[in-house]
Each structure stands twice: as C-alpha cells, then as structure tokens.
Chains A and B, each alone.
Chain A
Amino acid sequence: MTGFSFINAFSGGIMIGIATVLMFLCLGKITGISGIVGGLVKPASGPVGWRLIFILSLMVGGAVYPSLWGRDLPVELNGSWVLYFVAGLIVGFGTRTGSGCTSGHGICGLARFSPRSMVATVTFILAAVVTHTLVNVFTG
C-alpha cells in the first residue's frame, strides 16, 4: 500500500463517475453493478447482451491496470474462503432486496438526488461500520 495518495483515490473516483455518466447520458442506463449482474442471473427480465459486455469490460479494466499503471492489482484478503462465501451470499441477497449497491445507490442514486438511494446509502454504510466493528470486538 505504499506510493498511494488521495489523488489516486480522487482520480479513480472521477473515472468511475465518467463511466456512470457515459452510460446514463448515452444509453439511459443506471450503472448499478448488482442490478446489471442480477439481470444476468434472471435473463427473463430483459436483454442480457449489454450486461455481459459491461461485466466483461469491467473485469478487463482490472486486468489491464497492472500494465497501464505499472503496479500489481491491489487485492489483499484475510480469513478463510468460508467468510467470503457467507459475505457474498448476504451481499447478493441484500442488494436484490434493497434494489442496489454502492454503485447504483451510492453513486448513480445520490447523483440524481434519489431519496431512496440516500436512505439506502446511509443505511448500508452504517450497517457495514457496525458489522466490522462487532467483528473486530469479537475477534480482537
């Protein structure tokens, strides 16, 4: 995690912002990752082509990052795969129940001043802070 600055965080954020604006102004689509993936799991809900292309492109972005930026993709994980499996299950179920995740509610929703998204974003950040804090308390 050396050589990292908040300039990177802010410019990475700008890139994400441009990506969501491109999708919305050009195609009228909300860039909510859980929603885009959800439409792939449940193909009856509409066309899947653009969803597949988007998800693959998203992964390509991470794949080309090391050669473009000259750094390894920063992914540090702690704990067993069981933890990640359980977390993934809850994230998948929860994002469908709450109609969105960090991208759909946290960026697109906030940007269009959606009251639902404001409530959802505050709620999931609070729930995450409480969960992480409790895990820290019980595991040391």
Chain B
Amino acid sequence: MTLVLTLKVTPPQRLDLSVLLPHLLADKSSKDVAAIDLATTREKITVGDLFRIRAGSAEEIRFEGGSERFDGVGQGLQQGRIFVAGDAGINAGRQMTGGDLVISGNVGPYAGSAMTGGRLEILGNAGDFLGAPREGELNGMSGGLLVLRGAAGRRAGDRLRRGTILIEGDAGDWLGSRLIAGTLIVLGRVGVSPGYLMRRGTIVLAKPPALASTFVDCGQFASSFPAVFGRFLLPESRGAARLFRAPLRKFAGDMAVLGKGEIFVPA
C-alpha cells in the first residue's frame, strides 16, 4: 500500500520536502513521519501539521495536493516512486539518481537539476533551468530521463551532459545552452538561440526557430540512430517517436566553441 500524504492547509512557508524519500522513510512509523520537520524558516512545521497521513509502504509516496511552495520534491530520490497530485516548487527531482517521480501540475525552476538517473515526468509546465546545474556546479543533468508534457522556461537543458530530456510543449530562449552531451528533444516552439555554446550532444527540434550563424548546415541525415531512438521513446511520447521517424536535417555547432554538437530539424 502506498503512503499517502493529503495536504490539509496551504503551506504557511516554503517547504523542504527532500526529506520525504522512500529510502529515508523505509523504517519509519506514521508517528515518526508525522514528526519530520519540513520548515525552511525558524517557524517549525512538521509533516503532521500539513498532511493527513495514510500509512503504507514508503516505496511509493503519494502527495494528494501540491503547492508552488513544495520545494525539493523527490530531491535525491534513489529508488521507489513519488507522485504529486498538484504543483511543486523549485528543485523538483534535483540530483535524483533513480526511481520514478511524477508531478501532475506545474513546477518551479531547476526541476531535474543535475539528476543522474531515474525518470522524472512533469505533466504541467516547468520554470527556467530545467535539468540545469545549480550555482557552482559544472554539470547539469547527467543521466536518466526527464519528460515535460508542458512548456519549459529559459535555458532548459543547460549544461546537459548525459541522459534524455523530452519537452512536449514549447521551450524558452537559449534552450540547451552550454550543452556538453546528451539528448534534448522539443516538440513545440523554441525561443531564440537554441544550443547556444553547445559543445557536443544532440538537440532535436520539431519547430525550429532561425538558428544562430554559428551552426552549419550538414544536409540530409542518414543513420539508423533516429529510428532506434524513436523506438525507445515510443512508450513515452508518440509525438517524439513521429518526429524521429521523419527525415531529418543536421546542423552542427556551436562553432563558437567545440562545434561537435548537432541540431536536428525536420528535413
């Protein structure tokens, strides 16, 4: 049985939910869980103050109701499953290494920031810096799968190093900025300068804007790679699978830096 946490009141302050992970709650009783402090200010606020708890195996945690103040949901997730029926704040799924995190609403900035494994799915929209590194970190997302059904803010996939980000909606300016490697797919419209200063890696755009002059046209692309990748993506997104089935044209860049990256657009 799933551990269910039903939101009773609007959170009076921003919360740190990174302490509510399956591996941290494995041996805890409902009473222990209720006593966990979620405060980010000097005002103490516990799980019991905010949520009605239905006991169950912490292998799957379900939040009934969310809030823009739910920070750090699934941050550091290692295994198991977390589902949020509602919105979440900053750092959702940040640094997760495994497991499955699904958020039905919108999330703030830095969702999936520096994640290295597992699967993060957001049904709503995301703020800026999807999958990006936080201050002082060298790498953004470096493994796993991030699926965003809605739209992303600016600089989604900043310093992506490995793994796959799939955005079904639109994406803001400077998509995939400073990309190191990995794969970034956008089915919707994209703001200015996608792949700004990307070194390696792959960006696939269904509706590309004008690319910067530091991207060079490599012509029609012939490889088994899109077909293989499209088949992998089919269970996640029919739209992405369709995009990979169509003929693609390759642009290489960003020639302002290493230039071994690629942006694929429909041919």
User: Do A and B interact with each other, yes or no?
Assistant: no
